[in-house]
Amino acid sequence: MFNDSLLAKQAWRLLHDHNSLFYKVFKARFFPNTSIMEARDSRLGSYAWRSILIGRDVIQRGARWRVGDGKNIRIWQDYWIPRMHPTLLSACPISDFEDSSVDILIDPQSRQWNVEMVEGLFNEEEVELIKQIPLSNVASEDILYWPYSSNGVYSSKSGYKFLKMEDELMDRAHNSVVEDDSQVWKRLWSMNAPQKVKTLLWRACREALPTKCSLFRRKITEEDLCVRCRAAIENSLHALWSCTELDLVWGDPELWSFRNEVQFLSFKELLSWIIKHTQLLELFAVTVWSIWNQRNRVRLNQPADAIHQIAYLSKKWLAEYQARQFV
């Protein structure tokens, strides 16, 4: 950590001091058309350059943007919204906008937030936070600052402090996950639903379904894109929950409104959340089974339910199954 905090100091210099020979040499060789923040890992890189990239990653995780003209800040990839957690925005809703920078959200004449645009792209909480970010009357450059030191400038001491804190947070998250696990599995295996449904959920949690992502990893397919939307990597969370083509299945706002509000990193995280916060585990489970079954049938050119019927049919199936349990 101490080492990384020193490397980050070098990366910070490459970001802020553009007159040094150090900057000119590295810029010409490794990031001629971008800033160091966008520079990609390069095989050509020397040991020194690869080390600086380790430092750059520290800056990327810890630093925050202060909005000036918004041109240097990528909306969905950079930290610029003033909140502690989670700091990155949920996924970009419109594919053409994925790489857009913050300036498209600012009205260049009035130098105010373009409220219509902001409200169209973000959820309510995010809209409120964005509207509170002050904009100056004159367009100035965006500033990357380091929130862990009093003057906003990176120092290896404050960098080390940040890395320690990050490490403790990850440790804590990991421990609570381990404790949670046994509860999740207990509830999963004891739910009132057909065995094949439980097994599917278990496999989805383990990323053991033959999704495009896992086939790609095993080199069975050439690409890993979702078979429905072709716009994202198909892991089990995407295939069964977050794919936009499934909006029709998870559309009931009285049941699944959290789909638009809570962001999950894995299918297992989603399942744990549902167990903890809702009474919907069984309905969720049979719906997931129907989604997966429908996907596979379509792929094999077999007769399959229409996607807009899945929610209704799953509910009916569950009710019938549970009614039989009491006979």
Q: List residues binding Zn ion (CB under 5 A).
A: 226, 228-229, 243
| Least distance from Zn ion to the Cβ atom of residue 232, Å | 5
C-alpha span between 102 and 76 (Å, rounded)? 9
**Nearer to Zn ion (CB atom), residue 39 or residue 226:** 226
**Nearer to Zn ion (CB atom), residue 163 or residue 237:** 237
**Nearer to Zn ion (CB atom), residue 289 or residue 317:** 289
| Least distance from Zn ion to the Cβ atom of residue 191, Å | 26
| Least distance from Zn ion to the Cβ atom of residue 243, Å | 3
| Least distance from Zn ion to the Cβ atom of residue 299, Å | 13
Structure tokens at 53: 């990239």
**Nearer to Zn ion (CB atom), residue 127 or residue 304:** 304
Instruction: State the residue for tokens 């980050």.
Output: 8
Q: Rounded to whole angstroms, what are the CA distances from 116 to 99, 106, 122, 127, 139?
A: 19, 10, 10, 10, 20
Could you count the other beta carbons within 10 Å of the beta carbon of residue 315? 16
Residue 248 contacts residue 239 (beta carbons within 8 Å): no
Q: What are the phi and psi torsion angles at 278 (to 5°)?
A: -135, 175
**Nearer to Zn ion (CB atom), residue 188 or residue 246:** 246
Q: Rounded to whole angstroms, what are the CA distances from 80 to 68, 103, 119?
A: 11, 12, 17
**Nearer to Zn ion (CB atom), residue 229 or residue 313:** 229
| Least distance from Zn ion to the Cβ atom of residue 63, Å | 32
Residue 285 contacts residue 198 (beta carbons within 8 Å): yes
Question: How large is the greatest C-alpha to C-alpha distance in the chain, in angstroms?
Answer: 82
C-alpha span between 240 and 246 (Å, rounded)? 8
**Nearer to Zn ion (CB atom), residue 9 or residue 228:** 228
| Least distance from Zn ion to the Cβ atom of residue 238, Å | 6
| Least distance from Zn ion to the Cβ atom of residue 228, Å | 4
How large is the C-alpha radius of gyration of the chain? Answer: 24
Nearest to 101 by CA among 138, 65, 146: 65
